[in-house]
Structure 1
Amino acid sequence: MTDRKLGKGALALISALAVAAPVGMIATPASAYVFSNVKIEGNRRIEPQTILSYLDLPRGQDVSAGDLNDAMQRLQNSGLFETVELVPTGGTLVVKIAEYPTINAISFEGNKRLKDENLAEIVKSKSRRVYSPAQAEADAAAISQVYAAQGRLAARVDPSIIRRSDNRVDLVFEVFEGDVTEIERIGFVGNRAFSDKKLRNVLETKQAGILRTFIKRDTFAPERLPVDEKLLTDFYRSRGYADFKVQAVAPEVARERDAFYITFQIQEGPRYSFGNVDTISEIPGVDAAEFAAQNRVKKGEIYNPTIIDTTIRRMEALALRKGLNFVNIEPRITRNERNQTLDLTFALTRGQRVFVERIDIEGNTTTLDEVIRRQFTTVEGDPFNPREIRNSAERLRALGYFSDVQAESRQGSSPERVIVDVNVEEQPTGSLSFGASYGVATGVGFNVSLSEKNFLGRGQEVDVSFATGSGTQSSGLTFVEPYFLGRDLRAKLQLWYNTTDRLNSDYNTRAVGFLTSLEFPVSENGRLEMRYKLSKDTLFDVDAIGIDPDDGDEIGSSPILYNEQGGYFTSALGYTYTYDSSITGLDPLTSYRLRFGQDFAGLGGDVKSITTTIYGGVQSNAWRENVTMLAEFEAGAVHMLNDDNSRLLDRFTGNSKIRGFEPNGYGPRDLAAPNEDMLGGNYFWALRTEVQFPLGLPEEYGITGGLFADAGSVWGLDNTTGAFGEEVDDGMKIRAAIGASLFWTTPIGPLRFNFSHAVKKEDYDDEQNFDLTISTKF
């Protein structure tokens, strides 16, 4: 056949005629046929012996019409022949066959989203092999599945052949890609406590919106549905709905197969609070009072399984410290449906005596075994604790080294021993990032960063970065060993080189140095960092007071800055204590973060000072969690020793402290000096409050709004003698600004538009009423 397309219908018709004709010629079912010879016609590649093996008919014996039909079916079903015909001629059975042609070439037409080379990797039909219609259909189905995974459920693939000479064909896959089948609507049935919009925010699957061209989570993926069910369940149960369940998920496709509609049928149940909370011991000699002190569940609190789990972990840890093995902490819950409370009893019971025989690790080709094992507090020979094994698996997933982590136990050499199988699937941990940023004050900036989270498979972090903007340049190298000396000690080495070039000022700065630190836990939510820093900070190109030869105007900076020029070494020891409530996550709606640090300079170097900083922040969700409220307070003080005067690079500036002002835009300033440069201060405080809320637009658009109010001050100088002997006002003068924000999550990165107005300021302050920030990686 030289013209294009011998379709499936034509092939079926030919096969049916080929089957029917010989059987009709053979006679009735009662007749029999005896042959002594077999003659094969039409075979070129296939050996006669192969054909006879499929024929499998005895010579010299009676053969019925049914036997001949079965033989022909065996030949046809072998997949070697395009047509088969059995013709009884006297004592000779003539087998007429037409072999399937050889594939000369494979091509694809109509595909735009997927390249030919990508499709060629999918199909199993190959050039210079025998053409198989069944395989061609399977290949077409495989291609359709790939398109369906990309959301193009209407995609269709039709295989066809073009006849060539010498029993060859070209196999052509005609692809009709169709449009992306997007999720037009996600709805919920049975929800009363939370709106559809709020619940849609919880899901990984998203509705299609104005950014449908870029957002890939708005295409239907069946594998996401179990994840979405778990996200909904965790969301409700962490908010007191202990009986919540997803009763059904109904995805429906439109008749045109161009849209999906997903409906979650849920049952919320009542919202429970904790009632009576008690701890009992069913183990002789074990006092329940000691374990009750570890309880973090309070009567009257909204039910949250995370709090129960945290208490169990604390009790189990106490049991291990006391040397009590095989202790189970069993939470027993009694529902009081009338008042919607849950009475909770933590029962200490004796568990089965089972020990860990060994831990087998598989799947890691780059990551060292020791990096995986150090996430397990359990080692060979320890009592088996299923909870700790699960927690260890979660810690492994959180590292970001693996795309999948499975930790399962099986019986070991005896019923009292178990083997823990840890199977991991590694994923790339290094990245080369090119980024762009924009700020109204700093202009367009670019950055490049090379980072590796699992350096040489040792779990170490390495980051090399370079960034530049209008008037600023920064570069740095950071190396982190998270388990220094095999313990939970986070060791860090950091190098930097930063410069500013007339950044809203009439001087330049340069900073070069290194920092090394050790960080370790001191409580469940608290960590302490000890560090040493050595740096050289240089202030240069400060304008001296004089006359501009071009226009005759006075120029020059404050003598305070002029006298502070030069490079000074700072050698300092410091520490920072950080408390973060989100580490244990007892309250899903509110989190707190506290930080206190001090740096003591004077171990050599030119600067002798004590610098103290404090920070406190809280974030909370309200109004059905649609509104996020944030509040931050920070303050700092520089105290110079030996009656030294602080320099600009030792002092605090107004950079990024409060919104509504330019960098270096507020604080002590020598107004008598022609340049009126900002001088910085030894002290600062800043209070930032913000509320973020939806604007009524669909969540998938990624647009939300916000209001903010900031206040703060920078003040205090050791030397207040300014230009021409006039005294600089370095008093604590409050600045304040209010404003509105627009947040937009875009494919090129998160955008934030700030519109602000200073409601309390000095005449010489530099305001910034609008700011746009963007940061992205690509």
Structure 2
Amino acid sequence: MTMISQQKLCARLKSSVFSSGLFLVLSVLILGLLPACPALGQEVAESLLSVPAYQEPQGEEVREILIEGTQRIDDAAVVSYLTFGVGDMATSDKVKASLKELFATGLFVDINLAVQDGVLTVQVVENPIISSVSFEGMDMINQDDLEKEVQLKPRLVYTLPKVQKDVQRILDLYRRSGHFAATVDPQVVTLDQNRVDVVFKIVEGKHTGVRRIQFIGNNHFDDDILRGQIHTQESAWWKFFSSSDFYDPDRVSYDRELLRRFYLDQGYVDFRIVSSVAEMAPDKEDFFLTFTLEEGNRYKFGKISVESEIKGLEGQDLQPELLTLFDTWYNGGKIENTVAKLTAILGDRQYAFVNIVPETEKDKEQKIVDLTYRIKPGERVHIGRIDITGNTRTIDKVIRREILVAEGDPYSISKIKQSEQRIKDLGYFETVKITPAQGVQTDRSDVKVEVKEKATGDISLGAGFSSTDGVLGDFSIRERNFLGKGQDVRFGAMLSGNTKQLDFSFTEPYFLDRDLSAGIDLFHVRTDQQEESNYDEVTTGFSLRLGYPLSEALRQVVSYTLRRDKISDVSFTASRFVRDQEGESTSSFVSQELVYDKRNSRLEPTEG
């Protein structure tokens, strides 16, 4: 190509490229002509470098925020959920994030965000408030149980997901009671002021029982024995007071564990449950439940030892405490009980956080299991803080004085358990739980005492009829935890045709903050004996009581009583003995009572 024609070509290309809307595309193609048109290539390159890089739109700056559609919710609350505010740029990402935050509150059924001329407008439609929650169609389950099960309550915000979750909760409740055919239809009644009533319409259906329970693979125990080990029972007409013959998948899962424990306690170490299958009967009224088992061989205990990794603690010293013995049938329950026993013993020796691991080595040929209780180190610990929670009425001192350990004492598991039982025996709490917690220092264990208060006051009203006294009435009021101080106060009154009686008693269980129970009893009795013995009698007096322990199980109570008796209006027909007693007399006496109590609980004893 001649110089003149080359120059003409370059000039034409230059004119075409820069005048065309396809500048970027053609520029790339023309780069291939750079050797022929160096001047054109240079201009194209400079033009390419001058093209700005792509940038995401920055959005519009927000100068004002308007909230529309709110009724109950404050505008400021809506603004607080936005991810940007006045002065920020309203990008699409921020708008999406704000929508997500607002919907997550569950307060709104619809939300719209729009920015125009610097004004961010937030339009919302609030979810309604629940006015009432009711149930229809239930016979097998009472309303109180349903109300406890559902989460929707009056004055809460209504949302469809909440309703759907409560429907599932109700269905689960019915299935646990054996009603697998139950259906729940939630209906919403719209009221004024953006309120709704929620009505759960329930069709219970017949309860689904267990027609037959059978086992496959049980060569050493027959079906009747295995049925006796599980909670699920076969349905029968006479079991109308029981719910154990209802099919419940959760109960079946627990039955699998019960079978596993039973076989392990009998020595069948290799036992496993292949499957547990529930099949609906053709009439859709009951289930057939089948457990498929692999029993395996029965094993005995071989060598049994205790190995301690704690310095100064010899495993041989604990050997006599073992419940598992050589050449006896393997028993998983005895292993668990031995671990618990050793843990308690070491806990009393201030090893609060030891870890006792039973290690087994199985010999399939000899059918024996060697067992080693390995005690892994845990530092000797002392009591750190003792924290008490849940006592909204009872003062701390009442609870602390029942705890047998104090801050700084060596940690003792047995004393902790005894303390828990002593607090339960007060009768002031519905639940009592004492748990250890790691303290600030590694050698300290905090003790957390959690209680839940219950009512401790009693009011009694009674009425009756007696051939001697006629109609009689009785009234008493008692507070066993007076002012939350653990004091026992009682007032009683009895009224009949011939007798009028008033009595009052007060007991301080820890007099002078010591283990001394002190109390006083006041009484006043007026008796009309004219019809039978021709006299009237009035008795007034008091008793003082003091009790103290002689030993852990033996307690002595000493009391002093002072009383004044007045016999008056003696008829001349009365006996000489009665006439001789006419007038006032004062008497006093001291009594003693010994109480021996070895029960493990005053309220719910199981031994002693």
What is the TM-score of this pair, normalised by structure 1? 0.38
Larger Rg: 2
What is the TM-score of this pair, normalised by structure 2? 0.46
The structure with higher relative contact order (CA 8 Å, sep 6+) is 1
